[in-house]
Amino acid sequence: RHASHGPQHNKHNRETESYLNMFARLSLLRPTLSTVPACSVRAYGMRHTDKVVLESAAAPAAIGPYSQAILVPSSGQVHVSGCLGLDPKSGELVSANVAEQAARALENMQAVLQEADCSMADVVKCTVLLRSMDDFGAVNEVYSRYFSTQSGAEAAPAAFPARICYAVSGLPKNALVEIDAIAQQPK
């Protein structure tokens, strides 16, 4: 019964073999990691676009297998990983106070954004993770200071980024708040 699989089976094997050969060739052609020492940026090759890994010494190092931020040059988008209220030197939480953690998290975000020549004004979307929704007001107060704009003596309407906020059961290092962002590089 199973002695012959017919022409379809042979066609499938040839297609599979062709894909495997293509992937083998691509792995030999893939650009290697290159470091640009002046600004701690690493460039990687990708299939349809390029991405640049951004790292800032003024922000805590990633505490897992992820990058502080990724810049997609073709779109000018900067994707900043979740920032915690960690001291950049010690890697520990700055305090047990949610407002202080939020402020430090946003300072860390600013440092990473600067590596892409961006500021908080370039942020278009944030995600805020809270250990408790009871901290929503305190975090909003700090958050609004980092994203509000001033024009002369009068306050201009704030162009706050789009945002979503979740309460979660836990965060790395038992933090009380974590904030990530997507920014658009200025043209």
Query: What's the whole-number mean pLDDT along residues 63-85?
Result: 96
Helix pair 98-114, 136-147: axis angle to 10 deg:
30
**In the structure, what pLDDT confidence band is assigned to residue 90 with cuts at 50, 70 and 90?**
very high
Q: What is the pLDDT of residue 98?
A: 98
Q: Give the residue with greater pLDDT, 97 vs 21.
A: 97
Task: Say if residue 22's pLDDT is above 50.
Answer: no
> Beta strands of 23-140 (E only): which ranges?
34-36, 41-44, 51-54, 69-72, 77-83, 123-130
> Beta strands of 55-153 (E only): which ranges?
69-72, 77-83, 123-130, 150-151
Task: Say if residue 38's pLDDT is above 60.
Answer: no
| 165 catalytic per annotation | yes
Q: What is the pLDDT of residue 156?
A: 53
Residue of 83, 118, 126, 165 marked catalytic: 165
Q: Give the residue with greater pLDDT, 48 vs 136.
A: 136
Calculate the average pLDDT of the chain: 80
Query: What's the whole-number mean pLDDT along residues 38-56?
Result: 64
Burial class of residue 170 (count of CB atoms within 10 Å of its CB; 0-12, 13-18, 19+) = exposed
